[in-house]
Amino acid sequence: MESEHYLRIKAGQTETQYWRDVWRYRELFYFLAWRDILVRYKQTFIGVAWALIRPFLTMVVFTIVFGRLANLPSESNVPYPVLVFAAILPWQFFASALSECSNSLISNSNLLSKVYFPRLVVPTSAVIVSFVDFLISGMILLGLMAWYNFVPSWRILALPFFVLVAFAAAIGSGLWLAALNVKYRDFRYVVPFIVQLGLYISPVGFSSNIVPQQWRLLYSLNPMVGVIDGFRWAILGRGTVLYWPGFSLSLILVGLILWSGVMYFRRMERTFADVI
Amino acid sequence: MTKAIIQVENLGKKYLIGHSRKEKYIALRDVLFKSAKQTKNMVLRPSKRGSSYKEDFWALQNISFEIEQGDRVGIIGRNGAGKSTLLKLLSRITEPTTGQFTLRGRVASLLEVGTGFHPELTGRENIFLNGAILGMSKTEISRKFDEIVSFAEVERFLDTPVKRYSSGMYVRLAFAVAAHVDTEILIVDEVLAVGDAAFQKKCLSRMGDLSNDGRTLLFVSHNMGVLRELVNQCILLEEGEIVSAGSVDETISKYLSSGRQINDLSIDLSDHRNRLAGMKRILRSVSVRNSEGEYQKDFSQLEKISVHIEYKSDEPDTFLAGAGFILYTAEGVRVGGYNTYMAFPPPHKIQKDGTIIFRILPKQLTPGTYLLTVSLGSHQGALEDKIEQCIDFTVYPADIYRTGYLLTKEDGVAVLSVEVCMAEEPDRRYVSKNNN
């Protein structure tokens, strides 16, 4: 019994039990996510409806602006609203997860300065609310598919993989911003900017096929290009082709962002309580 | 052979203090601006590297001690002596700069009542959330749920959001959760200052029970009475170092008699260096005491602070009209003062020698250290003797509003007595929170 809870903390020494601690605090992860979800749907009057209205209206506006006014082509006869919505889904998940994640430490600062737990629990659990929103707005996609008599192919089974990539992208960049936000509060202005700009430089309102071939690899430097293309490939099925060089590049970048995000976060988290 | 459950070796914690203490975080602009400035300095005046605007501050240094299982240890010291930093290090909230410590058991720390409570969530939901934050598992919380609820006496309000709780209920619920954390080591900061007397008693007896079960307790308090009752060992910190450790009574009396001067309980004024130039030597001594007349330097916000001024004139024809004191914060801000001219109508005259006692009534000062200036005069405008800032005392927080809101230095200097009425409920009576 004694050896079970033996802990030695030495100045300047990296924590040896970090990942074991993260595992031990998995219930806190669950409870924080649960709190965020409860609070979110208790406080807002229309609650769940909010998670439906926002992506739906975005889809309508994008379909009109990009599909009708700009007359951009869809992919192999896929109805334009479905094309747009297959991208809005991961994009809104990424955008809201990124904001929640990067704000999470500041909004839980009272916890950080009063209780110990692996700090990684806070930003990662903050992402779960966005995932619930994602699942709810996924219902719109089902509705659209029924409306257009659109039957997905077997590829839809690969969707969870692309969801994981979206998670990795959101958490990776979220960790960076969360840690930076503690030290430099200016980063709270950076996040809305990233989200706003990102909406236009990611292929949300249009298909990434309209990007000229010679620029596509460069375009894939935006990791969300890979995620969105992956979503479209899985959901739209049939004629859609995945641009593999670009997708692999996005995937590598996402992996790099996640890895460096965790590293940076772990380096910074030792001083969070002192500066927050 | 039994090993100490807590073993601390040479522990130290250094903080960097910026020129402005308030802003702990940095704006990116400052960093960019500063590095631009430094580069410029390096180019223009290579000899003078941009002077660092930060200063090292050792909140704790050379801390070593051992605590055996089942011990109840009180940690005492003045404000800023490093008590809270020590608790934060041991609860792993912050990392040590030097040294190491070993814990042979799980730790739960209660540095604040209700950490992580969410006002929108119900009592039931908050019990689970707070329990998880304190390190309990879901099954553990479920098992103890009924116990927690009955300890907090909130059975009827379990499904009410805690934002509708009275402050008393809130504090009771928060403490109840913490009191049922099942760890070998419990670290408690001055949280018992909140809550009503009956509940405080309940909490104390609960903590006593816990330690009888073999739990180890670390407890910070300014309340010597509570400490004497609860702990069996004391550690006295002064300016970040341990100056005394061991028996409770010895350490407490050492603490009470310690200070910047060897004996500053009663300050000898006959030859004081802060006497203003040209003053007669009439003031003899000054001391601060509790309402029983015992010397004391730390006061709860609920205690009266007695200022005893002793004076004696050697010249037979001295005429004295009045005496008074002025109160300053440690930062030198003049808080206010009081004198016999205010207290009594003219004609003003006091005896040639004697003692004047001013009692500062409770609930007027926020926590912090205060300095006193004392003076005597032959007329309201004519000083005979005055000694600047010759004695200090410290005020520590208490639940003066009975809402669990503890004032800090950041709240200002004066405690305002205010009546409040919510505009949305015009029929509601004005509530005076302060003077009950």
pLDDT of residue A2: 43
pLDDT of residue A123: 94
Whether the pLDDT of residue A52 is over 70: the answer is yes
Q: For B137-168, what is each residue's pLDDT tens digit?
A: 899 999 999 999 998 888 899 999 988 888 77
B104 closest CA partner among B180, B178, B179, B183: B183
pLDDT confidence bin for B195, thresholds 50/70/90? low
pLDDT of residue A48: 75
How far lies B63's CA from each of B68, B236, B242, B275, in Å? Answer: 17, 11, 6, 39
Indicate the residue of A30, A43, A114 with minimum beta-carbon distance to B112: A114
Q: Which chain A residue is nearest to residue B13, measuring alpha carbons?
A: A11
Closest CA of chain A from B296, distance in Å:
31
B-interface mutation test, from A16, A23, A24, A31, most B Cβ less than 10 A away: A31
Contacts of A33 in chain B (CB under 8 A): none
Whether the pLDDT of residue B262 is over 50: the answer is no
Lowest mean pLDDT among A75-84, A168-177, B24-33: B24-33
What integer is the mean pLDDT of A184-190? 84
How far apart are alpha carbons A207 and A114 in whole angstroms?
48
pLDDT of residue A57: 92
Whether the pLDDT of residue A121 is over 60: the answer is yes
Look at B95 and A271 and tell me if their CB atoms are within 8 Å.
yes
pLDDT confidence bin for B227, thresholds 50/70/90? confident
Q: What's this model's pTM, rounded to 2 decimal places?
A: 0.72
Whether the pLDDT of residue B61 is over 80: the answer is yes
What is the domain partition of chain A in residue ranges? 22-275
Between B259 and B351, the higher pLDDT residue:
B351
What is the domain partition of chain B in residue ranges? 58-257, 266-399+407-411
Q: Which chain B residue is nearest to residue A109, measuring alpha carbons?
A: B116
Indicate the residue of A11, A42, A182 with minimum beta-carbon distance to B97: A11
Decide if A177 contacts A102 (C-beta within 8 A): yes
Closest CA of chain A from B28, distance in Å:
5
pLDDT of residue B398: 87
Look at A186 and B29 and tell me if their CB atoms are within 8 Å.
yes
What integer is the mean pLDDT of A127-156? 90
How far apart are alpha carbons A149 and A145 in whole angstroms?
6
Decide if B429 contacts B421 (C-beta within 8 A): yes
Question: A7 CB near a chain B CB, below 8 Å?
Answer: yes
Decide if A145 contacts A82 (C-beta within 8 A): yes
Lowest mean pLDDT among A74-78, A84-88, B338-342: A74-78
Closest CA of chain A from B103, distance in Å:
5
Q: Is B347 exposed, middle or buried (0-12, 13-18, 19+ CB in 10 A)?
A: exposed
Closest CA of chain A from B110, distance in Å:
8
Look at A5 and B102 and tell me if their CB atoms are within 8 Å.
no
Q: For B337-396, what is each residue's pLDDT tens digit?
A: 999 999 998 888 888 888 999 999 999 999 888 889 999 988 877 888 988 888 888 898
pLDDT of residue B264: 61
How far apart are alpha carbons B221 and A70 in whole angstroms?
70
pLDDT confidence bin for B333, thresholds 50/70/90? confident
According to the 3-state scheme, what is the secondary structure of B131-199? HHHCCCCHHHHHHHHHHHHHHHCCHHHCCCEHHHCCHHHHHHHHHHHHHCCCCCEEEECCCCCCCCHHH
Indicate the residue of A6, A7, A186 with minimum beta-carbon distance to B27: A186
Residue B93, CB-side half-sphere exposure with 13 Å CA sphere: 25
What integer is the mean pLDDT of B101-127? 87
Whether the pLDDT of residue A178 is over 60: the answer is yes
How far apart are alpha carbons B181 and A140 in whole angstroms?
45
DSSP state string for A49-74: HHHHHHHHHHHHHHIIIIIIIS----
Domain spanning B266-399+407-411, CATH class = mainly beta
ipTM of predicted complex: 0.85
Lowest mean pLDDT among A116-130, B118-132, B232-246, B381-395: B381-395
Decide if B402 contacts B433 (C-beta within 8 A): yes
How far lies B118's CA from each of A34, B26, B167, in Å? Answer: 12, 28, 14
B282 closest CA partner among B316, B328, B306: B316
Closest CA of chain A from B92, distance in Å:
6
pLDDT of residue B263: 47
pLDDT of residue B136: 87
pLDDT of residue B191: 66
Whether the pLDDT of residue B50 is over 50: the answer is no
Contacts of B103 in chain A (CB under 8 A): 5-9
- Chain mean pLDDT for chain B: 82
Contacts of A9 in chain B (CB under 8 A): 89, 92, 95-96, 100-103
Helix, strand, coil distribution of chain A in percent, nearest 5: 75, 0, 20
pLDDT of residue A92: 94
> Percent of chain A at pLDDT above 90?
43
Kindly report the number of other CB atoms within 10 A of residue A53's CB atom.
Answer: 13
pLDDT confidence bin for B310, thresholds 50/70/90? very high
Whether the pLDDT of residue A3 is over 70: the answer is no
B58-257 is a CATH 3.40.50.300 domain: yes
Closest CA of chain B from A229, distance in Å:
35
* Tokens encoding B197: 């007397």
What integer is the mean pLDDT of A215-241? 88
What integer is the mean pLDDT of A185-208? 89
Whether the pLDDT of residue B408 is over 50: the answer is yes
Whether the pLDDT of residue A174 is over 90: the answer is yes
Look at B93 and A42 and tell me if their CB atoms are within 8 Å.
no
B67 closest CA partner among B100, B17, B102, B35: B102
Helices B123-133 and B138-152, interaxial angle, to 10°?
Answer: 120
How far apart are alpha carbons A7 and B235 in whole angstroms?
23
pLDDT confidence bin for B293, thresholds 50/70/90? confident
What integer is the mean pLDDT of B73-98? 88
pLDDT confidence bin for B20, thresholds 50/70/90? very low
pLDDT of residue B316: 80
- Chain mean pLDDT for chain A: 88
Contacts of A114 in chain B (CB under 8 A): 93, 109, 111-112, 115
Kindly report the number of other CB atoms within 10 A of residue B387's CB atom.
Answer: 23
* Residue entry with tokens 């003692």: B355
DSSP state string for B56-71: EEEEEEEEEEEE-TT-
pLDDT of residue B276: 79
Whether the pLDDT of residue B436 is over 80: the answer is no
DSSP state string for B272-324: -TTBPTT--S-EEEEEEE-TTS-B-SEEETTS-EEEEEEEE-SSTT--B-EEE
Q: Which chain A residue is nearest to residue B26, measuring alpha carbons?
A: A184
Q: Which chain A residue is nearest to residue B28, measuring alpha carbons?
A: A184
Lowest mean pLDDT among A5-14, A81-90, B41-50, B423-432: B41-50
Look at B121 and A38 and tell me if their CB atoms are within 8 Å.
yes
